[in-house]
Structure 1
Amino acid sequence: MPPAEKKQSRGKYTTKACEECRRRRAKCDGKKPSCSRCLQWSISCQYSSNEDGRRPASKSYVDLLRQRIEFLEEFLAKRGIDPDAEKSLEEDAAEVSSYMEALCDQFKGRLALDESLNFDDDGEMRFFGPTSGRLQFVAQDATPEKESKACVEPEPFGSTTYDAFIPTELENHLIDLYFTWEQPWYQIVDEDLFRDSMANRGRYFTPLLLYSILAMGSRYSDRVETRTDANDPNTAGRFFFEQAKTLLHREMERPRLATIQALGLIGMFYIATGADAAGWLHHGMANRLSLDMGLNLDPAAFDRAVSMCPTEMQLRRQIYWTLYCHDKLSASYTGRVCSMLDVQGSVNLPSNAEPSSPREQAILSLQTALIRICQTYEKIFLSLWAPKPSLNQRQRPAFLKSCLLDLKTWLYDLPPELRIDQPNHLPHAYTLHMVYHTARILLAKPFTIRHQSASSDADANAEVQTQAQSVSTDSARAICTIAQKYRQQFGSFHLSPITATHCTLSAATVLLEDIDGEDILPSQKSRLEVCVGVLEELAGSWQPARHTGNNLRRLLSARYNLTLPGGEKADQLQSQTGGDLFAQSMGFDIVDGANTEFLPQYEEGLPSTLGLPPALDSLPVDYGFFDMLNQMNMDRMW
């Protein structure tokens, strides 16, 4: 064959070959769904979903890095600092610095531990800091021997048994549902420790914790026997919940780690049923108990004071970081301040020294990634949304660019098991990406034109406003895309964590603000249909999603004459909750949802209608309060 003809017949090759070509070490053209070679030989062609190590950085990520470098170089130049001249000094100090950092890490958190550990009669550790006056009254003859009570089985308080009236099949069903759908996202309970302690009457099982797990597992079940009212899905788990509340009062007299876990689950159950105030209270109790037991200090720092089992050390880290993450997601959900700050703790990230299954490794990676992005959430809240923001108006544009880069870096560093560019069998990975885009919306919102018009920062440059608006819109659309991927993989959001509710609401708010006038584009309608559908699917497990979805549906109908499918079901579920009857019993008139007489006079518009503050100057308020407000007062405007 002539050289020219031979050169012409040569095809294009890809950097990522299919599995068959990789196995045979043959050249692959990368065509999909089947490469040319597999198609020629009638072979099944499949591509690995594993991440390509040679994957280049995205253009947006590179641009953010360049902008950050240029900003830092300009910052140094204005202060007469030559970055090149500093290199030699940095190299000389690098070795000393790394040694000092390693040395400091060994003592991290230990300065606060001197004579600060006490033990109750049940062997549970209590922590008191060096400023506590009670440390001055430690007995002079106290022996410095290392305590070893942390792994001793405590004497049970009262009965450790529970009424065996629950059918074993139902109990196992609800426990499995909990550990499959709730625990990977809200990892306050270690599945292996709980199941082992349940079988062997270990210290990590209590009837209180069991009933709390059964109550939360019921929220993911369609079985009517989990409900106190067969026609009301919001009563699912109510019986187990009442049992847990009875036991909680007694166990609070001598709390343990399992008490913190149960408090966290009880708080989640309250939120699931729409009782946000009670949920907030019980999570606050869990946070306080975690400080009481020293969970905000890494247990490795206790090694000279107490002998602690490795399993308990890992559990303490897991509980602390779960409460920390929930605090940030709750701050976003309720619009309240963070109550657990990163600076108040010194705890290593959860780890798994022993080999684990791919699912266990994915769940561990999930918690680590969630912790990282929740730390960024905290920076956003303190810098932009706090009652006294830590940044002034001049500092905010630089923070926007810096934080966008941090978020992009977080996304770029996600391990393959948490990516969703290919179908992912871990449903919570999709929720994690929704949280990422919600963080971008919360970061960008104070800089958007709509927000700036109502703030004192009216002279913000147009470039920042345009960038912020683009970030908000892109992330809102991305949340809708993620929701569609989730549905394709899992069918429905019925078993999704409640966090998806606020993420979807955030996307819907941005999408509605982007509508120009009263004309809604087909693409905008399609995305809003996705948001309404997601909220309706979440409503089966989470009461706040039901009310938020109903409010959104009514707004679309009144303002844009947009009637979405499924409204009859939503109205039926709404009537089952008895909200209208409750409002009428309080002396308020309920106006028909179709009555829009007062709508033009309602200048606050969209945000308040959806349960958000009128001027969007703060994050969403307590949905439980707005549930009542919507029924009692806001219905008047319709």
Structure 2
Amino acid sequence: MNNNTLGNEPAKKRHCVSMACMPCRTRRTKCDGEKPTCSACKTVHKTESICHYAPEEDFRRKGALRKVIAEQEKDRRVYDSMIRKIRNGSETEKKAFVRLISDGEDPENNPERLDQIVQMMDSGSSGNPHGSTVTSPQSLEDKVAILPERTWKAQDNQSRYYGRTLNRLLRSDEDVCFVPTPTDQVPEWTTVTTDQNLIQHLLNLYFTWSHPFYLLFPEEVFSHGFESKKLKYCTPLLVNAILAIGCCYSDRPEARKDTYDPDSVGDHFFAEAEQLLTEVKNQRSLTVVQALGLMSLREMMLNREDNGQKYAAQMMDMALRLGLHISQDRSSHLSLNEIEARRITFWGCFTLENTLAICTRGFPTSPKTEIRLDKPKLEHKLEKTLWRPHGTLQHGASSPYLVQPSMKYNILTQCILLSEIVEDILHIPYMPTARTNCQLAYQSYEKMQKWFLNLPFELKIHTQGSPLPQIVTLHCYYHHCVIQLLHPFLKEPFLKDLKSAREICTESAAAISELTMLYSRIYGLDKTSLVNTYCLESAAIIHIIQLSSSGVVHNTQQTEIYLADAIRGLRGMKGICKVAGQSLHDLCNLLQETCEEIPASVQLAMNEDVSFEEFDLEGYLAGMENVE
């Protein structure tokens, strides 16, 4: 007998369920697919609270699988971009990026933040093809991270990238500035003074004592623009920055903003340079880069290190945004003069930044791995341009034995080569193991020795003749780099020739003292360079270590003479480099802390005023066999 004969309804067939809820899938039980909660979870297993359906996790469905693959590919792009940014970015960029990904919500839990990081990390290959507007980041970290990848539309509607992207397109000088600058107007170079004699006096001082070592631009093209009133390579901003440094070397009362305040030297020209820099904040050009470098140098000379480092960072950042670190050829719509000016400007910035970094124990921001630029060309005619002293205490401009070829581009080339070694030195103290530190220090010392031995004959110091001030400075800088490299290993006899780091540092300190004495007696320390103050300070510290050593110190009398001369030298440099006064103060404190009894000659130098004595230059040079 069937059920129909009994009058009962036939059993309903359970409808096909295409997707079970997640708890039923986990338990592998039947699910009726009811929504929002299936019957099994509601009545049998009592898991109503966690019952849900997730079609995106059902990999039997092609759409779900494609979505998961797309998300994984998106994550892979993000992580690849992160690795690329950390590997190729500068120290500043790395720190900003680490702050970005460390602060805030995890990108994996916030799709919007993940999209934001993708947009910031992707370089020129992705771009913004539809011209859509990207929402501005709200946090400072986001702004810093997105800044290096900011795009700009050229007149041909082609996207070009500022920052440190390797596929950046090079631009001609007319593309550099957002605001067009007329090149045919006749400007007033400065509103501080109308005295053309004073302006020429300050220019002469700058090009005599500062420019040969800190060569940030070609003097020839600047002079042409200055005389012909052309703004392409000479602007009021650059001129005022130059005059501000020239004031530091001048003893004229007009070089001070306040005639009776020696600490106001150059302030009036520098204030105008700052104002002009504010007015051109939306412009990027060679002259702005050059002016930033000079403003950094001037602030460092006046012991305003924070401002100096700020301007130096802006200088290098703008240089990289302009693509100055990438080589050009004649097919790049740039003239030969433009190509060479760009090359000299970048390498001058590179050298200045590394010099300041080794002196202040900082880190350069220039990414050496991204530099694709040849060294400046050595033109025989330019190298033979005569250098003559201007405004010295001991000698007038007509001193015949001081007039000689400037060799400025040869010196720039050697500074570049040394700076490339210096950049590696700065990272050695932060290596993970002491053994690694020693090995890298020894390798760097060998490189510096090789550089020093391979110096051109014209850049060596000889017993006959009077060396150029920039050549003396170059030698001092080399020995300063040796001390900065090896002073953490003064107790380590790790060198193959059995000479300890302490012995090498002592020899370099003695060489700096001899070179400073030579410089002082020929040119006077009131015409010195900024780097010489740091060189003399590092030498004096080594002399103090020698005097305060508990062991046997050889040639103690000579060490006392060197230290006394270093104290006098720093006092003599105070007039031009205020940072020398700070160094002198620190040395005196160090002496009192480390030396139980300060030698009488050193104590006398600490208490006396600096004086310059007349001397027989030829006899002194003839008596010097080799300061190195």
Q: Which band: TM-score by shorter chain? A: 0.5 to 0.7
Task: Pick the aligned partner of 1:488 from 483, 498, 521.
Answer: 521
2:532 corresponds to 1:506: no
Quick one: which of 193, 216, 222 aligns to 1:165?
Answer: 193
Match of 2:576 in 1: 541
User: 1:141, CA displacement in angstroms?
Assistant: 8.4
Alpha-carbon distance in 1 for matches of 2:561, 2:301:
28
Aligned-pair CA distance for 1:509: 1.1
Q: After superposition, where does 1:480-629 map in structure 2 within 5 Å?
A: 480-490=513-523, 492-516=524-548, 521-553=556-588, 555-556=590-591, 559=595, 560-561=597-598, 562-565=602-605, 567=607, 569=609
**In 2, Cα distance between equivalents of 1:142 and 1:557:** 67
Kept in 2, the 8 Å contact 1:151–1:309? The answer is no
* Matching residue of 2:10: none
Matching residue of 1:379 = 424
Q: Secondary structure at the match of 2:547?
A: coil
Question: What is the distance in 2 between the residues matched to 1:488 and 1:204?
Answer: 37
In the TM superposition, residue 338 of structure 1 has moved relative to its aligned partner by 2.0
The answer to whether structure 1 residue 468 and structure 2 residue 501 are counterparts is yes
Root-mean-square deviation over aligned CA pairs: 3.2
Contact 2:438 2:494 in 1 (8 A): no
Matches for 1:266-285 after TM superposition, within 5 Å = 266-285=295-314
Taking structure 1 as the reference length, the TM-score comes to 0.61
Q: 1: distance between equivalents of 2:361 and 2:268? A: 31
For residues 5-61 of structure 1, give each alpha carbon's deviation from its aligned partner in whole angstroms, at most 9, with x where no partner exists. Answer: xxxxxxxxxxxxxxxxxxxxxxxxxxxxxxxxxxxxxxxxxxxxxxxxxxxxxxxxx
CA deviation digits over 1:405-439, x for unaligned, max 9?
Answer: 21111111111221113344411101111111111
* Equivalent residues of 1:147, 1:307 under 8 A apart: no
Establish whether residue 404 from structure 1 lines up as the match of residue 445 from structure 2.
yes
1:80-125 Cα offsets, whole Å, 9 max, x none, are: xxxxxxxxxxxxxxxxxxxxxxxxxxxxxxxxxxxxxxxxxxxxxx
Contact 2:255 2:266 (C-alpha < 8 Å) held by counterparts: yes
1:171 Cα deviation from its structure 2 partner: 0.4
Structure-2 change in CA distance of 1:135 and 1:328 (3 Å): farther
Residues 513/311 of structure 1: CA separation in 2 closer, same or farther (3 Å cut): same
Displacement after TM superposition at 1:323 (Å)? 1.2
Shift of 1:190: 1.8
1:316 pairs with 2:330: no
Decide whether aligned partners of structure 1 residues 464 and 248 sit closer, same or farther in structure 2, where only a CA change above 3 A counts.
same
Percent identity (aligned): 24
- AA aligned to 2:462 is D
Return the offset for 1:133: 2.1
CA distance, structure 2, for counterparts of residue 230 and residue 447 of structure 1: 48
Q: Give the deviation of 1:484 after TM superposition.
A: 1.9
Q: Note the C-alpha offset of 1:381.
A: 1.3
| Larger RCO (CA within 8 A; separation ≥ 6) | 1
Hey, what's the Cα distance between the residues in 1 that align with 2:369 and 2:274? 33
Give 1:279 deviation, angstroms.
1.1
The code of the aligned residue for 1:547 comes to: Q
Q: Deviations over 1:349-403 (max 9, x none)?
A: 1114463342466111100111111111111112x134xx2x6333344333332
Question: Which residue identity lines up with residue 379 of structure 1 in the other structure?
Answer: D
More displaced 10-residue stretch of structure 1: 352-361 or 498-507: 352-361
Find the counterpart in structure 2 of residue 414 from structure 1: 455
Cα distance, 1:148–1:431 mapped onto 2, change above 3 Å = closer
TM-fit CA distance, 1:148? 9.2
**Counterpart of 2:285?**
256
Contact kept? 1:188, 1:322, Cα under 8 Å = yes
Secondary structure of 1:494's aligned partner? helix
- The aligned residue for residue 73 of structure 2 is none
CA spacing shift, 1:247–1:500, aligned 2, 3 Å: same
Secondary structure of the residue aligned to 2:433 is coil
| Per-residue deviation, 1:466 | 5.5
Q: What is the distance in 1 between the residues matched to 2:342 and 2:129?
A: 24
Q: Residues of 1 paired with 2:549 and 2:436: CA distance?
A: 34
Distance of aligned partners of 1:232 and 1:556 in 2 relative to their CA distance in 1, 3 Å threshold: farther
CA distance in 2 between counterparts of 1:237 and 1:537 reads 19
- 1:366 is matched with which residue? 411
* Structure 2 partner of 1:427: 469
8 A contact 2:429–2:437 mirrored in 1: no
Letter aligned with residue 253 of structure 1: N
Tell me the equivalent position of 1:191. Answer: 219
Distance 1:165 1:397, change over 3 A: closer
**TM-fit CA distance, 1:169:** 0.6
Structure with bigger gyration radius: 2
Indicate the SS of the match to 1:414: coil
Displacement of 1:540 after TM fit? Answer: 1.0
User: Hey, what does 2:269 align to over in structure 1?
Assistant: 240
Inter-partner Cα distance in structure 2 for 1:549 and 1:213: 27
Shifted more, 160-169 versus 516-525: the winner is: 516-525
Please name the residue that 1:325 is paired with: 351
Q: 2:383–2:408: 8 Å Cα contact kept in structure 1?
A: no
- Give, in whole Å, the separation in 2 of the partners of 1:565 and 1:339: 39
CA 1:136 to 1:275, structure 2 compared with 1: closer, same or farther past 3 Å?
A: farther
Residue 320 of structure 2 is matched in structure 1 by 291
TM-score, normalised to structure 2's length?
Answer: 0.62
Count of residue pairs brought into register by the alignment:
425
Mapped contact 2:513–2:539 kept (Cα < 8 A): yes
Q: Which sections of structure 1, spanning at least 5 residues, go unmatched?
A: 1-127, 453-459, 571-638
Change in Cα spacing, 1:139 to 1:147, as seen in structure 2 (3 Å) is closer
Structure 1 residue 142: deviation in Å?
6.5
Q: Distance in 2 between matches of 1:229 and 1:140?
A: 48
Alignment of 1:125-204 (within 5 A): 130-131=124-125, 133-134=127-128, 150=173, 155-156=181-182, 160-161=187-188, 162-163=190-191, 165-202=193-230, 203-204=232-233
Classify the secondary structure of the residue corresponding to 2:357. Answer: helix
Q: Does structure 1 conserve the Cα–Cα contact (< 8 Å) formed by 2:494 and 2:501?
A: no
* Residue matched to 1:355: 381
Q: Is the 8 A contact 2:258 2:264 kept in 1?
A: yes
Match of 1:340 among 355, 358, 366: 366
Deviations 1:522-570 (A, max 9, x none): 2121010121122112111111101211332454467434423473558
Shift of 1:181: 0.7
Q: Distance in 2 between matches of 1:348 and 1:190?
A: 16
Deviation at residue 461 of structure 1 after TM alignment: 6.2
Displacement of 1:185 in angstroms is 0.9
Q: 1:218 matched to which residue of 2?
A: 247
Structure 1 match to 2:68: none
Q: Which residue identity lines up with residue 150 of structure 1 in the other structure?
A: D
Give the distance between the partners of 1:286 and 1:502, measured in 2 at CA: 22
In the TM superposition, residue 334 of structure 1 has moved relative to its aligned partner by: 1.7
Q: Which runs of no fewer than 5 residues in structure 2 stay unpaired?
A: 1-121, 132-152, 160-168, 386-404, 611-628
In structure 1, give the amino acid aligned to 2:447. Answer: D
